[in-house]
């Protein structure tokens, strides 16, 4: 049975890395001693070592060790043997590129389906969807495919922003871009605001956090989903 936390972000304003969600993670990973960290998204170009250290320092606070997938000669075997998995945020294009390069997409699907507890933040949440096509990131590399894990039956738009009525900015809003996506694609998109996450247990997907989320479905009016309610497509 799937057991996922799909979070819009790792850090909210005024809070340290993962700090806002650590109580949830302590329960989510309660039977886990060591988490396998996937640092491939490399926010700001940080090294795998530096990014893994950041994750280690956060999880130390709840008594869980972290080891980076880059430390293994066989990353597929590392995924298969992992007690729990965390994929951090950064650039989704590079993350997906590395997952395909290391032949990890299918093995991740396998272990998640079997119930290995998983945490994804930002890019690590984007890959939980059907495709990565609703990322906000620049296409700095070209992955072999936009198809991702399909652990949830829709796509994620992390860090979803509402239009600011007082702004003079004339560029596209997130809603505009998602509408453009739905001209050519059928898959629904969930706009996750900062500090919100999905709690996935098997086929149940519950919105958590203090804010609503915005659900976009092709040819339908967007819906505001209340926190602590089930997301149904």
Looking at residue 14, what is its pLDDT? 86
Sort 80 into a burial class: Cβ within 10 Å, 0-12 / 13-18 / 19+.
middle
**Residues β-bridged to residue 118:** 4, 85
* Mean pLDDT, the chain, integer: 96
Examine the residue annotation and report whether 15 is marked as an active-site residue of this protein. no
Work out the pLDDT band at 168, boundaries 50, 70, 90. Answer: confident
Contacts of 84 (CB under 8 A, 6+ apart): 29, 32, 34, 35, 36, 64, 116, 117, 118, 119
What lies within 8 Å, CB to CB, of 230 at 6+ separation is 204, 205, 206, 207
| Catalytic, out of 8, 10, 28, 122 | 122
| Model confidence at 167: pLDDT above 80 | no
Q: Cβ–Cβ contacts within 10 Å for residue 105, how many?
A: 18
Nearest to 86 by CA among 135, 43, 114, 52: 52
Mean pLDDT of 91-96: 98
Going by C-alpha positions, the residue among 168, 21, 170, 1 that lies closest to residue 88 is 21
Domains plus CATH for the chain?
3-225 (3.40.50.880)
φ and ψ at residue 35, rounded to 5 degrees: -100, 140
What was the pLDDT predicted at 163?
77
Phi/psi for 45 (5° steps) reads 80, 15
Among 8, 125, 137, 188, the active-site one is: 137
Q: Is there a contact between 122 and 89 (Cβ–Cβ < 8 Å)?
A: yes
Res 107: pLDDT: 98
User: What is the per-residue pLDDT for 153?
Assistant: 98
- How does pLDDT run across 12-36, given as a tens digit for each residue? 988 999 999 999 999 999 999 999 9
CA distance 202 to 223: 23
- What is the average per-residue pLDDT within 40-45? 97
> Of all residues in the chain, what percent carry a pLDDT higher than 90?
94
Average pLDDT over residues 98-114: 98
Beta pairing, strands 118-121 & 155-157: unpaired
211 DSSP assignment: S
Active site residue 203: no
Closest CA to 23 of 47, 58, 55: 58
Q: How confident is the model at residue 170 (pLDDT cuts 50, 70, 90)?
A: low
Q: How do residues 62-81 score in pLDDT, each as one tens digit?
A: 999 999 999 999 999 999 99
Q: In what order do the strands lie in the sheet with 223-225?
A: 155-157, 189-191, 213-216, 223-225
């Amino acid at each position: 049975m799937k057991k996922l936390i799909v979070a819009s972000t790792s850090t909210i304003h005024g809070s340290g890395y993962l700090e806002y969600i650590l109580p949830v993670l302590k329960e989510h990973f309660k039977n886990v001693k060591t988490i396998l960290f996937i640092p491939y998204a490399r926010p700001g170009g940080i090294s795998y070592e530096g990014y893994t250290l950041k994750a280690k320092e956060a999880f130390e606070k709840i008594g869980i060790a972290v080891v980076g997938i880059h430390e293994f000669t066989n990353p597929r075997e590392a995924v298969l043997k992992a007690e729990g998995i965390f994929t951090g945020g950064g650039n989704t294009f590079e993350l997906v590129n590395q997952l395909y390069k290391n032949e990890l997409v299918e093995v991740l699907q396998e272990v998640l389906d079997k119930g290995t507890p998983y945490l994804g933040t930002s890019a690590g949440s984007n890959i939980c969807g059907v495709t990565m096509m609703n990322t906000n990131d620049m296409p700095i590399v070209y992955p072999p495919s936009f198809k991702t894990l399909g652990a949830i039956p829709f796509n994620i738009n992390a860090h979803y922003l509402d239009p600011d009525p007082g702004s003079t900015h004339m560029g596209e809003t997130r809603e505009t871009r998602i509408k453009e996506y739905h001209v050519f694609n059928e898959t629904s998109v969930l706009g996750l605001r900062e500090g919100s996450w999905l709690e996935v247990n098997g086929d149940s997907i519950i919105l958590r956090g203090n804010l609503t989320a915005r659900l976009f479905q092709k040819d339908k009016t967007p819906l505001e989903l209340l926190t602590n309610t089930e997301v149904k497509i």
